[in-house]
Amino acid sequence: MKAFKDFNIGQDIVKALSNMGFENPTPIQEKAIPVALEGRDMIGQAQTGTGKTTAFGVPMIEKMDMNQSKVQGLVIAPTRELAIQVGEELNRIGQNKGVRTVPVYGGQDIQRQIKALKKHPQIVVATPGRLLDHIRRRTIRLDEIHTVVLDEADEMLNMGFIEDIEAIMAEIPSNYQTLLFSATMPKRIQNLAERFMDQPEVIRIKAKQLTVENIEQYYLEIKEPQKFDVLCKLLDIESPELAIIFGRTKKRVDELTEGLLKRGYSAEGIHGDITQSKRERAIKRFKDQTTDILVATDVAARGLDISGVTHVYNFDLPQDPESYVHRIGRTGRAGNKGQAVTFVVPREFEHLKNIEELTKHKMTRKQIPSYDDVLEGIQQATRDELLSVIEEQDFQKYKHVAENLLDEYHSVDVVAAALKLLAKEPDRTPVKLTAVSPLRVKKVSGGKGGGGNRNRGRRGRQGDRNRGGRRRDDRRSNNRGQKGNRNRRNS
């Protein structure tokens, strides 16, 4: 089996991938990385969740000129959630080399983004509308771009971004490499490739059969403010030996971990901002069962291979259905049974249906537990703990005390008092988490999507018409002639 060290890439990248838990490439990575390293244009047709970010991130970062202060790599993504996720992963791949990535997207203060861009990142990951804003303001300059990635191109088509993409591509000088990734290849994506790519290599990866046979899957319909209290109830009732809780953002992971610790649970959090040494310590304590609960983002949990995980809790739904399969695959390993519980707010049921369609498995609806259910769960767990001590016969030193107690009190009263002493009563310490917006439902027609990129097409097209009076088609036709003989920098 091929390893990342077998590619023609620097040891700084190999080490970063190893720290992320990646030793061997996925099929899309194995085929795409060598082509991209050669500087050729490429179309990668593969499902989300197959490792596309690393497939384009490794060659892009390998080609970075660390003496150059301008943006050299551009990734265009359809949603802010994906832009953040891709930005986090690229930062981790490039951390040893010193390559920095900045995500820019609608809904975030543009002045904050401008401040980050002034620190000269090598890579920008952007949603189309916000990228056009920065191009118009000249806060992102494209004259030193050597690699352009169109991630989830079919989704950008569905959300009505294609004209914006064309406007952006027309602004980039001709000597750049284009990598396009898409799960499907509708006609408009093919037309886009013909206009802006130079004899692209096409790589197709078939979707693998996704099996989750050993995992019981449940969902709870729940409102956002209820989530934390319900999670604690489930932990008290189910008493997982080892549990992984997935949150969508780094802030979410930090707040969840802090809240669990406040309520007396043994928990640690991992995400892209913690150091590698802290991540390794947290995972080691979890493996050793010193810690019962690991709270993680999707990126931080990549490459985790820990036996004995009994429960996975999806506190937030993942951005894409394939990530759900990767998440719950942390349990039910080596023939053992596992349980996965997913929290779904009312506006996210379309995403739940997408997950069920992918896994070909209908989740069982679970009722929100009551306080009585929690008490019953705690009592059962305490009873089991007491029985395990009896079975181990590790109580001889206490027999004399027990006999004295039984001389004075009824045996049922003594056992009941012992159970109460052992039991962990529900902790109701107030915990407030910052609300996370529900995932947006993916659109299937070409309407303009919302969420921070409103009016993006109108602004982008107007901006394009005002730039020097030259039509995109005329400019691009000139560029296409140059592109065949372009000099690919740092390839």
Give the pLDDT score at 390.
86
Cα torsion 444, 449, 451, 455 to 10°: value is 180
As a whole number, mean pLDDT of residues 183-193 equals 86
CB neighbourhood size of 289 (10 A)? 11
DSSP 266: -
Mean pLDDT of 450-475: 36
* Separation of alpha carbons 408 and 414, rounded Å: 10
| CATH no., domain 209-446 | 3.40.50.300
- Whether 162 shows a pLDDT value over 80: the answer reads yes
Sign of the CA dihedral 126, 129, 133, 135? positive
Among 65-74, 204-213, 278-287, 448-457, name the one with the lowest average pLDDT: 448-457
Q: What pLDDT is attached to residue 17?
A: 92
pLDDT one-digit tens code per residue, 385-411:
888 888 888 888 888 898 899 999 999
Q: What is the pLDDT of residue 207?
A: 59
Map out the domains of the chain as residue ranges: 4-207+448-479, 209-446
What is the predicted pLDDT for the residue at 49? 64
How many Cβ atoms are within 10 Å of 388's Cβ, its own excluded? 10
pLDDT in the model for residue 449: 37
Stretch 369-373: mean pLDDT:
89
Give the model confidence (pLDDT) of 66-94 as tens digits.
998 899 999 999 888 789 889 999 999 99
Provide the pLDDT for residue 388.
85
What confidence score (pLDDT) does residue 303 get?
A: 59
Task: State mean pLDDT over 240-269.
Answer: 95
pLDDT of residue 46: 80
Q: Check residues 211 and 113 and name the one with the higher pLDDT.
A: 113
Residue 461 has pLDDT above 50, yes or no: no
Sheet holding 267-270, edge to edge: 267-270, 293-296, 243-246, 311-314, 338-344, 215-221, 364-365
Q: Give the pLDDT band (50/70/90) at residue 16.
A: very high
* Tokens describing residue 435: 């609300």
Please state, in angstroms and rounded to a whole number, the distance separating the CA atoms of residues 87 and 334.
33
Which candidate, 423, 438, 426, 433, places its Cα nearest to that of 234?
A: 426
Of 148-162, 288-302, 431-445, the poorest mean pLDDT is in 431-445
Q: How many residues does the chain have?
A: 491
Write phi, then psi, for 293 (nearest 5 degrees).
-130, 130
For residue 445, pLDDT over 80 is answered with: no
Structure tokens at 381: 């767990």
Give per-residue pLDDT as tens, 288-301.
899 999 999 987 77
The confidence score (pLDDT) of residue 211 equals 52
> Rounded to whole angstroms, how far apart are CA atoms 191 and 237?
55
CB-CB contact of 129 with 83 (8 Å)? no
The closest of 72, 93, 86 to 15, measured between CA atoms, is 93
Choice among 158-172, 339-353, 449-463 with the minimum mean pLDDT: 449-463
Phi/psi region, residue 200 (left: phi>0; alpha: psi -120 to 50; beta: rest), is beta
- The pLDDT of residue 305 is 66
Average pLDDT of span 46-75: 90
pTM of the model: 0.57
122 three-state secondary structure:
coil
Fold match flag (4-207+448-479 vs 209-446):
yes
pLDDT over 90, % of the chain: 48
Angle at 288 between CA 286 and CA 294, to 5 degrees: 10
Q: Positive or negative CA dihedral for 89, 91, 95, 97?
A: positive
Tell me which range, 104-113, 153-162, 270-279, 380-389, is most confidently predicted by mean pLDDT. Answer: 104-113
pLDDT in tens, 347-366: 999 999 988 888 888 999 99
- Angle, helices 162-170 vs 128-137, to 10°: value is 30
Would you say 132 and 161 are in contact if contact means Cβ atoms under 8 Å apart?
no
Q: How confident is the model at residue 96 (pLDDT cuts 50, 70, 90)?
A: very high
Q: b/e string for 263-279 if b means 16 or more Cβ within 10 A?
A: bebebbbbbbebeeeeb
- pLDDT at residue 210 greater than cutoff 60: no
Cα(221)–Cα(349) distance, rounded to whole angstroms?
9
Residue type, 73: G
Q: What is the CATH number of domain 4-207+448-479?
A: 3.40.50.300
Tokens of 248: 């969508």
What's the mean pLDDT when you consider all of the chain? 84
